[in-house]
Amino acid sequence: MEKNNLQKENEVQENVIGADRENNTEKASSLSILLEIIKFAILALIIIVPLRMYVASPFIVSGSSMDDTFHNGDYLIVDQISYKFEKPNRGDIIIFKYPKNTSKYFIKRIIGLPGETVQLNGNTTTIKNDMFPGGFVLDEPYISSNMDNNISLTLANDEYFVMGDNRAGSSDSRYWGPLREKFIRGEAFVRLFPLTKIGLHPGSYKYNGDIQI
């Protein structure tokens, strides 16, 4: 009888030890998974945060100032690095801090470049620069609506003249003046939404021949 009781007691002890080992194994496995998750999160932060701050960032179009090129809700990726190596071009679609309130971001098209004179006469945009001191009329097939403007403005060496493609519904350089280069965040690089309009450099327009800058 004592022998049977001793055997049962040993079996109970073995079962307890086995259960402890299983619990310890499960705890070690859970801890290992948790550590992997933490490592992945840290790695993602190391990669994604600088990428978003300095290379590319998302931008959702709000409002109708760029109709019909962009519409409210269009989802874009902004190239924030290219302009560190090259200057913006006429026709580029840029995202920038609104000079009157830098907590807001605007999207517009570059019309005038540093040092140029921009003249708006009715629905006609004329550009004067060193290459064309007499000026040339800008071809603007992207405009969805226009206004009867009468403006002449010469840009400084760090200024751009920007306008929305929906001229009748855009707050731009016609109203608050030239855009200084320091406020430019980057160029619209990719449109991801709507799916039917996915593409690189959405809305960008390159001017023909000798007037392309």
Please give the positions annotated as active site: 65, 108
* Of 123, 89, 137, 129, the residue nearest 109 (C-alpha): 89
Q: Distance from CA of residue 186 to its chain's centroid?
A: 7
Q: Distance from CA of residue 145 to its chain's centroid?
A: 25
CA distance 168 to 165: 9
- For tokens 């200057």, the residue is 87
CA distance 162 to 177: 9
**Backbone region of residue 186 per phi and psi (left: phi > 0; alpha: psi in -120 to 50; beta: other values):** left
